[in-house]
Amino acid sequence: MRVTRKIAIDLGTTNTLMYVPGQGILLNEPSVVAVSTDENAVLAIGNEAKEMIGRTPETIVAHRPLRDGVIADYRITEAMLRYLIQKIGVSIRLLRPEVLVSVPAGITSTERRAVVDATLSAGAKAAYLIKEPIAAAIGAGIPIGESSGHMIVDIGGGTTEAAVISLGGIVASHSARVGGNRFDEAIIDHIRKRYGMVIGEHTAEKIKVTIGSAIPHEEPAQLSIRGRDMASGLPKETVISSVEVTEALRDPLDEVLQAIKYVLQETPPELAADVIDTGIVVSGGGAQLKDIDQLITRATSVPCYTADDPLVCVVKGAGAALENIDAYKRSVLVSK
């Protein structure tokens, strides 16, 4: 019996994850590529490239080839995919794999075509697509085949995908171009305006993870941070509180809430009643922000829960769909 290698990929704005049926998640690396501007050549990909962000000379640019969940730089994305597929031990010369890639529900036909073409050019024998809300729901353990309504909110690095799912398909959905990267940008903007200090992406992410919260706490936490003073240009150190971070995150979080409310308003009454019973499940890297489930519950009056291992829900769901591709092909997968 001939074995065909299969790979499920969560091609995210912030991180790319790869899942191989029978082996689990084999790779989780930043979607970052370092390029030499002199030679127009790729120097580093993944973790090594992320370490270069904010630390490169003029001749090296470390950037993200995906923006808002879709491909912004086709050539660099193809190189990144080819490198990461080979990194998990798949030889694209000997056995071209079947690859399933998760994409935002609101993706356009042109953006969809770009993902398929980049995947095939990276060495895939066949490319399939699965919408992120469906993959996230499967990965979160939601029984998507039932006739009852289930709501999933996947907060990624570039997009927030909110959807109500019933009978294996999306009944109502909305994609908002807001996610973990916007959270980081909001923190950077706040510190620049409040303290006249410039910080980098790494520092903003550390602030978000360490003391960030969707709702204010009775006992605020504090964190010492370092950056560059805008007036003098010299290094500067200051202390910020979790209350400030919560305030800085208010605008992007409001956009997330608006996406959720829009989907709830578009949901048929019978399914809306089901959602009240089953609750809203939050997945994605943004779901790791402290108390985001409580914020959604307060805003919608619908119970909200954070999925187990929210960061890997999409790739786990895509992997499960790939393992049972015949069962999911008609209602879930789009193949080109």
What is the radius of gyration, based on Cα positions, of the chain?
Answer: 20
Q: What residue spans define the domains of the chain?
A: 6-134+314-335, 141-178+250-310, 180-248
Same fold, 6-134+314-335 and 141-178+250-310: yes
Query: Which two structure tokens, joined as six digits, stand for 243?
Result: 């209350």
pLDDT tens-place values along the chain, 336 residues long: 344 588 999 999 999 999 998 889 999 999 999 998 888 888 899 999 988 887 888 888 888 899 888 899 999 999 999 999 888 887 667 778 889 999 998 888 899 899 999 999 998 888 989 999 999 999 999 998 888 999 999 999 989 999 999 988 899 999 999 999 999 999 999 999 999 999 998 899 999 999 999 999 888 899 999 999 999 999 999 999 999 999 999 999 999 999 999 999 999 999 999 999 999 999 999 999 999 999 999 999 999 999 999 999 999 999 999 888 777 775 555 555
CATH number for region 141-178+250-310: 3.30.420.40
Which residue do the tokens 């127009």 mark?
Answer: 40
Sign of the alpha-carbon torsion through 296, 302, 306, 310: negative
Task: Answer for the pair 239, 250: CB distance below 8 angstroms, yes or no.
Answer: no
Could you tell me if 31 and 13 are in contact, meaning their C-beta atoms sit under 8 angstroms apart?
yes
Q: Which fold has domain 180-248?
A: Actin; Chain A, domain 4 (3.90.640)
Selection from 93, 102, 89 nearest residue 124 by Cα: 93
Q: Provide the b/e sequence for 196-208 (b: ≥16 CB within 10 Å).
A: ebebbbebbbbbb
The domain defined by 6-134+314-335 carries CATH number 3.10.450.40: no
